[in-house]
Amino acid sequence: MPRSQETIDLLLTRRSVKPFTMAAPGPDASQLEAILRAGARVPDHGKLAPWRFIIFKDDARGAFGEVLKARFAQVEPAANEDRLALEAGRLLQAPVVVAVISRIVPSRKAPEWEQRLSAGASCQNMLVAATALGFASCWLTEWYSYDEEIARALGLGESERVAGFIYFGSQTLPNEERERPVLADICTEWKPA
């Protein structure tokens, strides 16, 4: 198997970029296809594809923002106009947004937990693919990821839930490194008793 220091460097330096700092351009059709293909190439016990993708681009971002705004006004009737405008503009922060939907497929081989983990792996693969293509990206779950009315607006089935909204765009500010866990604090080596 070929070695790639470039891949290791990418994994060790990739980081999320806040959507409100993103700008156009986002991935074009072929780049987005590559990102989605990477998202579909993850560990998947039983070949169940326990995830699917909802793509928001162009006018769909603003239209879905209006759905978010209307629902937030119901959930938080005291919300002021600034907050409602924030909800309406959420998906407008990046040129392309993909909702990754975790879906449980009945299986004797692959428990629900494994299927949920596969959806998380899908999100991570998309982040890495976007970074490799030169784009900024961010995986978010906000209130609307857990709201039943928004789930209906997304057309989610009974066994589906949002794993996250992945924002893709171009970076406008340099990344600042953040503190990472010290490996000695999070790693142990198992030894027989």
Residues 9-57 have pLDDT tens digits of 989 889 999 999 999 999 999 999 999 999 999 999 999 999 999 999 9
Residues 60-88 have pLDDT tens digits of 999 999 999 999 999 999 999 999 999 99
- d(C-alpha 81, C-alpha 185), whole Å: 45
**Any residues with CB less than 8 A from the CB of 185 and at least 6 apart, and which?**
none
Q: Which DSSP category does 109 fall into?
A: S
pTM, 2 dp: 0.93
To which residue do tokens 């039983």 refer? 46
Residues 117-166 have pLDDT tens digits of 999 999 999 999 999 999 999 999 999 999 999 999 999 999 999 999 99
- d(C-alpha 104, C-alpha 113), whole Å: 9
Beta bridge partners of 9: none
Class of 16-57+92-172 in CATH:
alpha beta
Q: Which DSSP category does 13 fall into?
A: H
Structural contact between residues 15 and 177, judged by C-beta atoms closer than 8 angstroms: yes
- Angstrom distances, CA of residue 113 to CA of 8, 72, 104, 110: 28, 30, 9, 8
- d(C-alpha 38, C-alpha 29), whole Å: 14
In this structure, which amino acid lies at residue 163? Answer: A
